[in-house]
């Protein structure tokens, strides 16, 4: 029995799940390319999430939680495990207790929904994250940030499903946040988070969000499928500027291209493959090492098998 057949067998009786098998990631990923996942599983609720993760762990099946499928590249040979799609675990609520304002969000909630709720409640603190694609869980996992702030700065606690199947809550001080990482082990699954915000001026909040969104539209190649910034910034120079100095802006491999608009983006001009994208990633890394002595590390999760 192959692993893909085993996955079908163990998921056949699982309750409260939407499951599709051999699903091309080109249908869902923001890059509009990528191989097939053996299974794409969307739990209906947290109880179903706990059950299916327990089943997968018990049977030794590799899995990865995913949100909006941004910052993700699935290689052309596909992912032989299960992608646990958190999109249905997307509740977002705002509360006030004794003058303390907080937003709670499940891991599958889009960041856009959180920023919109904060603006509607006149709560400041999320503006700089406006326009960042992806979900709360992914943003926590990679400590997403922009304009001098990040998830660490506003997170009060994170709820997670531990390797032993227990739901736990960690405060911010218990989470080893660093640049573009939350430091949590790979086998820990983030299920939600709470964020501390301040009461602000509605017009000022919306104006700042609009300014940031305009900046993103002007600077980022949003007309084409992409997965956000490809590389983490090295300590002394933004990755985009470094790639531009290497003369690689606009370089193509097949239908994948290093954006002419922002060199730290790789865009899909139409029919790019994951192999095309990886060729550009390797080219940039090689040139950066040879000419600048810099080791560039991808921000994306790159998973699956080559062909």
d(CA 113, CA 119): 10
d(CA 290, CA 113): 43
**Active-site pick, 180, 206, 216, 252:** 180
d(CA 33, CA 238): 27
180 annotated active-site: yes
271 annotated active-site: no
**Active-site pick, 23, 127, 159, 299:** 299
95 annotated active-site: no
Beta bridge partners of residue 259, listed in sequence order: none
- Range 110-113 contact pairs with CB under 8 angstroms and sequence separation of 24 or more: 110/67, 110/68, 110/134, 110/135, 110/136, 111/135, 111/136, 111/139, 111/144
Q: Copy the structure tokens of residue 117.
A: 């709720």
Whether 163 and 188 have beta carbons less than 8 Å apart is answered as yes
Active-site annotation, residues:
180, 229, 299
């Amino acid at each position: 029995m192959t692993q893909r057949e085993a996955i079908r067998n163990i998921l056949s009786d699982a309750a409260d799940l939407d499951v599709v098998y051999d699903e091309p990631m080109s249908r869902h990923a923001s890059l509009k390319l990528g191989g097939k996942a053996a299974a794409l599983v969307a739990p209906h609720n947290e109880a179903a999430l706990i059950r299916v993760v327990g089943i997968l762990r018990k049977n030794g099946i590799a899995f990865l939680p995913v949100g909006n499928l941004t910052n993700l590249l699935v290689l052309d040979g596909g992912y032989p495990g299960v992608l646990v799609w958190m999109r249905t675990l997307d509740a977002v609520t705002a509360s006030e207790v004794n003058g303390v304002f907080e937003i709670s969000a499940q891991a599958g909630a889009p960041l856009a929904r959180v920023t919109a709720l904060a603006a509607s409640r006149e709560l400041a603190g999320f503006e700089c994250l406006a326009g960042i694609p992806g979900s709360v869980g992914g943003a926590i996992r990679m400590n997403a940030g922009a304009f001098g702030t990040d998830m660490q700065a506003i997170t009060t606690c994170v709820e997670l499903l531990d390797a032993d199947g227990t739901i736990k809550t960690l405060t911010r001080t218990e989470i080893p946040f660093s640049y573009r990482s939350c430091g949590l082990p790979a086998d820990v699954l983030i299920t939600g988070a709470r964020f501390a915000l301040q009461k602000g001026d509605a017009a000022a909040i919306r104006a700042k969000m609009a300014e940031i969104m305009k900046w993103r539209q002007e600077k980022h190649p949003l007309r084409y499928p992409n997965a956000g910034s490809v590389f983490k910034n090295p300590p002394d120079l933004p990755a985009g500027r470094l790639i531009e100095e290497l003369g690689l802006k606009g370089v193509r491999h097949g239908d994948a291209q290093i954006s002419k608009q922002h060199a730290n983006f790789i865009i899909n001009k139409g029919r790019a493959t994951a192999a095309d994208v990886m060729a550009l990633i390797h080219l940039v890394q090689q040139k950066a090492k040879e000419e600048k002595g810099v080791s560039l590390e991808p921000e994306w999760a790159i998973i699956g098998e080559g062909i």
